[in-house]
Chains A and B, each alone.
Chain A
Amino acid sequence: MSEQVAFQHIEKTSLIGKRIKKPDAPAKAMGKTRYINDMVLPQMLYGKILHAGRPHAEIISIDTSEAENLAGVHLVITAKDTPELRLGFVKDNAPLKDRVRCERDEVAAVAAESEAIAAAAIKLIKVDYKDLPGVFTVEDSQKKDAPVIQEHFPDNKSLKFEFKHGDLAEAEAKSDIILDDVFNVHLVTHCCMGTSCAIADFDHNGKLTIYSQTQYPYNYKMDLAPALGIDAGDIRVIQPPTGGSFGAKLDVYPFEPVAAILAQKTGRPVKILFDREEEFINSPTRQPASMHLRSGCTSDGILTFRAADVVMDNGAYTSWGATVPVIMMRTTSGHYRVPVVDFKGQAYYTNNSYAGSFRGYGNVQMTYATAQHMDMFAERLAKDHDLDPIEFRLKNAQKSGEVTPQKSYLRECALAECLTTAAEASDYVAKLNKYAAEREQKGRYKHGIGLASSIHNAGGAKIHKSDGCGTILKMDDYARVTVITGASEIGQGIDAVIGQIVAEELGVPPEHVTLVNNDSDLGPWDVGVHASRTTFIAGNGARRAAIKAKKQILAAASKQANVTAEELDLRGGYVVQDKDGAVVTRLDKMLRQMHFQPEPDVVMVSDYYEPNSEPEGRDHISDHSAAYSHAVHIAEVVVDTLTGEVKVEKVTMAQDVGRVINRMGLEAQMEGGLAFGLGFALSEEMIFEEGRLKNPNFRDYKVPTAPEMPDLDIHFIESDCEEGPYGAKGIAELPTIVIAPAIANAVYNATGIRFFNPPMTPEKVARAIWEKKNS
């Protein structure tokens, strides 16, 4: 074989931009994957939590004796057993509560031989509550004599954010048009197909192994430790396959320390797995917000200022939800060129559920407002000043090299190209005018077209001191590669991308790259899967590690072949001459020779990639991401003006992806991200009455189904990001962010009615149309 190929020439080819299969897809499609939810450890007990089921109460007494006496019950715990243990962003939360602040509060927990026994035991716990008046709106929370929800926050004020830039009064004076509206974005939740689960297991040295769905395993240890009173170094996190996260697993939530405490006290592994109703009630939500937005612009169509006053319902505890203004203000100041900015954000404690991170993190909310204001300006300017709606946006679109008021440095900016590409592909302006003209004519079904865009960080977000990722790469005697990365796989497809990148550099098939990334005892540090960062950060890390390995191999080969390393390359499993691809030797043979030679060597390299971004900082003036990206969505809808049903028929998407890495993965992210935004825009809503969730099931919480997916016309704009791997940017959140205001703008185009308060449910739309007609 080696004799035959000695005369072969191997051409240079590239995997970048190709469609790479996700390695775990067949097993998942065939139901063979064993998710954490399926896992059973020897001797394992089942944990179950008693939730308060009432929004605000004192706990007078808890009687656990009957539950303890039930056969098969090993342990019942309450807040008395877990004093001093805290968790949460401002440590205002505890694994088990001695007072009830919201419906989901964990009051007691049981460990038992079976799920059925644990469930029966929970029912035997007797709690005597004294209900207290509750606070269910931010308005009530601010009242003078409002009940205090968290002792340490007597005025019910939680986190606060501010950013100011330029002279607002002057900007207002210069404005010919000022828009002033309040947008209220509602409560939605992630609906991960795999419900929340944790399995905790202590060894005889007191070290905890926690099987978890977390998407940030390394900082997770730091957040979990104070909730257990143990050292973060004594926690090992294993991440079995998980059925979705989307931000829901970016914090520690009480069920996780509860599982660990039960395991610690019983000496047995303990598993807690939510059923669907528990999942709905006890998982984080997207942060709801009331956004009072004022925007100004001149009659030439130049934006003059944006002032946003954002009020948020913090719920009873503080997770990541209340921190979303960090991104909201980047949208306010950076979604188009905004010379003057005044942003305020304040969260208030209430007795409602609380929010966490959720795909789009603050930007889904803020873009719903800013992109509608852009559309309202565009309409006014077209009508009164004959300005083309795309021209208006192009005038305000930043160009490469511009810096926003918060110092986001837009090195490669393709907003203009996104706008023109999507507008041309969908024939936007012609349809916009046609449908607006048809609006007042007779007819039940009205067509509409709507454009929205936004900006998002696309090179990580440095909210911690480091936004880096570690990689260890080794090659074996058979030219198989093992990559140990800090990057977690939560379904997003980093497994395919890292295999592809490493294969690209080392000239091996992607299937020959094995990823190890589910054990914190093995993997090097990483921030976590969030902020659309993994392909950018971990991809760069994997590429740099692969380049180091390649150098080492070519150095060894150059000695053997008596040519310089620069004249050699790795292709198709061979060491070849770079200029003509002439085969020098087989790669596996080369690797074996490397450690069988007199000065033995093994290919094993490491890398820590730190993006060239700046920490967010307290004043929020920093280039906090290594790249920024834009997307434009144009939605085409049909509105049934009688039933109020909005059918999204087609969406044209143009997104600056920097460079396409795995085309298949990228398309899937566009589709999946859009589906999230579609549900948010049209049908999904958690309905709360006095702090209690009324629709904790898929019957009444309406995620979109397959027939609701519109046709997609996807355009990838390749701006070639200098810092990104092969030029790629992070991409995963923009598809969720942009679609809802695009639909809202399209519904406006069809009906003449603006929907400031999503979701645009049939009833809401029908009622608004009916009221307009009958007013």
Chain B
Amino acid sequence: MSEIEKYIAPEEVAEAVEALGTGGVTIVAGGTDLTPQINEGRCHYEPTLMNIQRIEELNRISLTDGEIRIGCLATVSEIWYNDIIIEHADILCQTANCFASDQIRNAATIGGNICNASPAGDMIIPLLVLGASVELASWKEGAMEIRREPLDKFFKGPGKTIRNENELLVAVIFDKPSADFIGQFRKSGPRPALEISTVTVGIGGDLKDGKLENVRVAFGAVGPTPLRGKATEVALEGQILTEDIISNAAAAAQKDASPIDDIRATTWYRNHLIAVFTEELLNNVC
């Protein structure tokens, strides 16, 4: 059993990042992943527990110079009801609608969802479709240093990312989608609420004159990380969504995915659903 020796709750980003630089720190945001994982013995507390919830600037959602920026502390509920998101990135609202329950949505942060790096992390899928990047802040020689990394390069395996221990994920950023952008999200699960995804599919692109362009496809819970569906994207890029194209895309989706059997679903069912959802989303669009 590891004991928490110190609890800190900084109010400034720099303060948090500096504390992180000293090592031995566990970050807690909404705590909705961390707490059950600690209870199950899947992870343990470092000597310092740092609550980042008091850093006000980290839950802002803004649109400047064509770039939408979501602070890491924005909760799933805040994203769902945010005007900028509603207007430009509805796919995030679709996802929020399928996410847990009211109580969890009010606590769960976008930063926590990304850093937890579950292959079934729901909010990651629309962000991959939106081509998002993350900002990671660390303390270097008395000042804060920030690097930006594309989200589709961020995940390394279940629970594993390229984020170093001394880095705080401060925000996710993506270009404001064009007026022609359409984005669709689908999540499976027997229950309409409180469901861990067995398969998620996100598809987005610009729909112009019946053709889908700048296509991005993302899948969840069908591999060790949330992943981009490269073969599916190729099958769809620049295409008019005919019946043939849609069934090609569904077949490509099955190639992109590498699901496993677990107690939530078999490989067969995940493969089946990924095709079903891909077709369903494309049919919704055309």
Q: Is B265 an interface residue (CB 8 A)?
A: yes
- Beta-carbon nearest neighbor of A704 in chain B: B191
Q: Is A618 an interface residue (CB 8 A)?
A: no
The answer to whether A766 touches B196, judged by C-beta atoms less than 8 angstroms apart, is no
- Beta-carbon nearest neighbor of B276 in chain A: A642
The size of the chain B interface, using a CB distance under 8 A, is: 19
Q: Is A687 an interface residue (CB 8 A)?
A: yes
Complex: A763 Cα to B264 Cα, angstroms: 9
List B contacts of A699 (CB < 8 A). Answer: 196
Q: Is B162 an interface residue (CB 8 A)?
A: no
The answer to whether A643 touches B188, judged by C-beta atoms less than 8 angstroms apart, is yes
For residues 671 through 727 of chain A, which have their beta carbon under 8 Å from a beta carbon of chain B? 682-683, 687, 694-695, 699-700, 702, 704-708
A-contact bits for B243-273, CB 8 A (1 contact / 0 none) = 0000000000000000000011110110011
Of the residues A682, A705, A766, contact of B269 by C-beta under 8 Å: A766
For residues 137 through 178 of chain A, which have their beta carbon under 8 Å from a beta carbon of chain B? none
- Beta-carbon nearest neighbor of B277 in chain A: A643
Complex: A251 Cα to B1 Cα, angstroms: 36
Chain B facing A: main interface SS: loop
Complex: A767 Cα to B263 Cα, angstroms: 16
Given contacts A120-B1, A643-B276, A770-B272, contact A763 B191 (CB under 8 A): no
Question: 8 shortest A-B CB distances, which residue pairs?
Answer: A763-B269, A642-B276, A707-B192, A705-B193, A762-B190, A694-B263, A683-B190, A687-B263
List A contacts of B101 (CB < 8 A). Answer: 705
Q: Is B286 an interface residue (CB 8 A)?
A: no
The answer to whether A702 touches B269, judged by C-beta atoms less than 8 angstroms apart, is no
How far does the Cβ of B244 sit from chain A's closest Cβ, in whole Å?
18
Q: Is B144 an interface residue (CB 8 A)?
A: no
Can you give 19 A-B contacts (C-beta < 8 A)? Answer: A120-B1, A642-B276, A643-B276, A645-B190, A682-B190, A694-B263, A695-B263, A699-B196, A700-B263, A700-B264, A702-B190, A702-B191, A705-B101, A705-B191, A706-B193, A708-B191, A763-B266, A766-B269, A770-B272
Complex: A241 Cα to B50 Cα, angstroms: 39
Q: Is A514 an interface residue (CB 8 A)?
A: no
A-contact bits for B187-207, CB 8 A (1 contact / 0 none) = 010111110100000000000
Complex: A414 Cα to B254 Cα, angstroms: 55
The answer to whether A708 touches B276, judged by C-beta atoms less than 8 angstroms apart, is no
Complex: A253 Cα to B280 Cα, angstroms: 50
How far does the Cβ of A418 sit from chain B's closest Cβ, in whole Å?
30
How far does the Cβ of B99 sit from chain A's closest Cβ, in whole Å?
14
List A contacts of B190 (CB < 8 A). Answer: 645, 682-683, 702, 761-762
How far does the Cβ of B11 sit from chain A's closest Cβ, in whole Å?
32
How far does the Cβ of A585 sit from chain B's closest Cβ, in whole Å?
56
List B contacts of A704 (CB < 8 A). Answer: 191
For residues 716 through 775 of chain A, which have their beta carbon under 8 Å from a beta carbon of chain B? 761-763, 766-767, 770
Complex: A705 Cα to B103 Cα, angstroms: 14
Given contacts A642-B276, A766-B269, contact A683 B264 (CB under 8 A): no
Of the residues A705, A706, A762, A767, contact of B268 by C-beta under 8 Å: A767
Complex: A589 Cα to B196 Cα, angstroms: 64
- Beta-carbon nearest neighbor of B188 in chain A: A643
Complex: A104 Cα to B194 Cα, angstroms: 28
Of the residues A645, A707, A761, A763, contact of B193 by C-beta under 8 Å: A707
B-contact bits for A637-656, CB 8 A (1 contact / 0 none) = 00000110100000000000
Complex: A476 Cα to B193 Cα, angstroms: 51
List A contacts of B268 (CB < 8 A). Answer: 767
The size of the chain A interface, using a CB distance under 8 A, is: 23
Of the residues B1, B194, B263, B273, contact of A643 by C-beta under 8 Å: B273
Complex: A303 Cα to B280 Cα, angstroms: 46
Extra contacts besides A683-B190, A705-B193 (15): CB < 8 Å: A642-B276, A642-B280, A643-B273, A700-B196, A702-B191, A704-B191, A705-B194, A707-B191, A707-B193, A708-B192, A762-B190, A763-B265, A766-B269, A767-B272, A770-B272
Complex: A727 Cα to B188 Cα, angstroms: 48
Residue in A642, A694, A706, A708 whose Cβ sees the most chain B Cβ within 10 Å: A642
- Beta-carbon nearest neighbor of A647 in chain B: B192
List A contacts of B264 (CB < 8 A). Answer: 700
- Beta-carbon nearest neighbor of A698 in chain B: B194
Complex: A766 Cα to B266 Cα, angstroms: 12
For residues 167 through 202 of chain B, which have their beta carbon under 8 Å from a beta carbon of chain A? 188, 190-194, 196
List B contacts of A706 (CB < 8 A). Answer: 193
How far does the Cβ of B94 sit from chain A's closest Cβ, in whole Å?
17
Complex: A695 Cα to B192 Cα, angstroms: 20
Complex: A708 Cα to B263 Cα, angstroms: 22
For residues 186 through 242 of chain B, which have their beta carbon under 8 Å from a beta carbon of chain A? 188, 190-194, 196
List A contacts of B1 (CB < 8 A). Answer: 120
Complex: A767 Cα to B280 Cα, angstroms: 18
Residue in A682, A683, A702, A770 whose Cβ sees the most chain B Cβ within 10 Å: A702
List B contacts of A766 (CB < 8 A). Answer: 269, 272-273
List B contacts of A682 (CB < 8 A). Answer: 190
List A contacts of B194 (CB < 8 A). Answer: 705
Residue in B190, B268, B269, B273 whose Cβ sees the most chain A Cβ within 10 Å: B190
- Beta-carbon nearest neighbor of A685 in chain B: B263
Complex: A694 Cα to B262 Cα, angstroms: 10
List B contacts of A707 (CB < 8 A). Answer: 191-193
- Beta-carbon nearest neighbor of A682 in chain B: B190
List B contacts of A695 (CB < 8 A). Answer: 263
The answer to whether A705 touches B272, judged by C-beta atoms less than 8 angstroms apart, is no
The answer to whether B193 touches A767, judged by C-beta atoms less than 8 angstroms apart, is no
Complex: A682 Cα to B276 Cα, angstroms: 21
Complex: A209 Cα to B273 Cα, angstroms: 56
- Beta-carbon nearest neighbor of B268 in chain A: A767
List B contacts of A767 (CB < 8 A). Answer: 268-269, 272
Complex: A643 Cα to B190 Cα, angstroms: 9
- Beta-carbon nearest neighbor of A694 in chain B: B263
Complex: A702 Cα to B189 Cα, angstroms: 10
How far does the Cβ of B103 sit from chain A's closest Cβ, in whole Å?
12
Complex: A761 Cα to B265 Cα, angstroms: 10
Complex: A700 Cα to B196 Cα, angstroms: 8
- Beta-carbon nearest neighbor of A699 in chain B: B196
List B contacts of A700 (CB < 8 A). Answer: 196, 263-264
- Beta-carbon nearest neighbor of B101 in chain A: A705
Given contacts A643-B276, A767-B268, A770-B272, contact A705 B263 (CB under 8 A): no
List A contacts of B269 (CB < 8 A). Answer: 762-763, 766-767
How far does the Cβ of B180 sit from chain A's closest Cβ, in whole Å?
28
- Beta-carbon nearest neighbor of B186 in chain A: A643
How far does the Cβ of B173 sit from chain A's closest Cβ, in whole Å?
32
A-contact bits for B61-91, CB 8 A (1 contact / 0 none) = 0000000000000000000000000000000
List A contacts of B192 (CB < 8 A). Answer: 705, 707-708
How far does the Cβ of A123 sit from chain B's closest Cβ, in whole Å?
9
The answer to whether A683 touches B263, judged by C-beta atoms less than 8 angstroms apart, is no
- Beta-carbon nearest neighbor of B270 in chain A: A763
How far does the Cβ of A273 sit from chain B's closest Cβ, in whole Å?
15
List A contacts of B272 (CB < 8 A). Answer: 766-767, 770
Complex: A682 Cα to B190 Cα, angstroms: 9
Complex: A699 Cα to B196 Cα, angstroms: 7
Given contacts A643-B273, A643-B276, A699-B196, contact A683 B266 (CB under 8 A): no
Complex: A695 Cα to B265 Cα, angstroms: 13
List B contacts of A642 (CB < 8 A). Answer: 276, 280
Complex: A694 Cα to B280 Cα, angstroms: 32
Complex: A645 Cα to B195 Cα, angstroms: 14
List B contacts of A761 (CB < 8 A). Answer: 190
How far does the Cβ of A120 sit from chain B's closest Cβ, in whole Å?
7
Complex: A767 Cα to B194 Cα, angstroms: 24
How far does the Cβ of A323 sit from chain B's closest Cβ, in whole Å?
31
Residue in A120, A687, A763, A767 whose Cβ sees the most chain B Cβ within 10 Å: A763
Given contacts A694-B263, A767-B268, contact A683 B273 (CB under 8 A): no
Complex: A120 Cα to B3 Cα, angstroms: 13
How far does the Cβ of A715 sit from chain B's closest Cβ, in whole Å?
28
- Beta-carbon nearest neighbor of B192 in chain A: A707
Complex: A359 Cα to B33 Cα, angstroms: 34
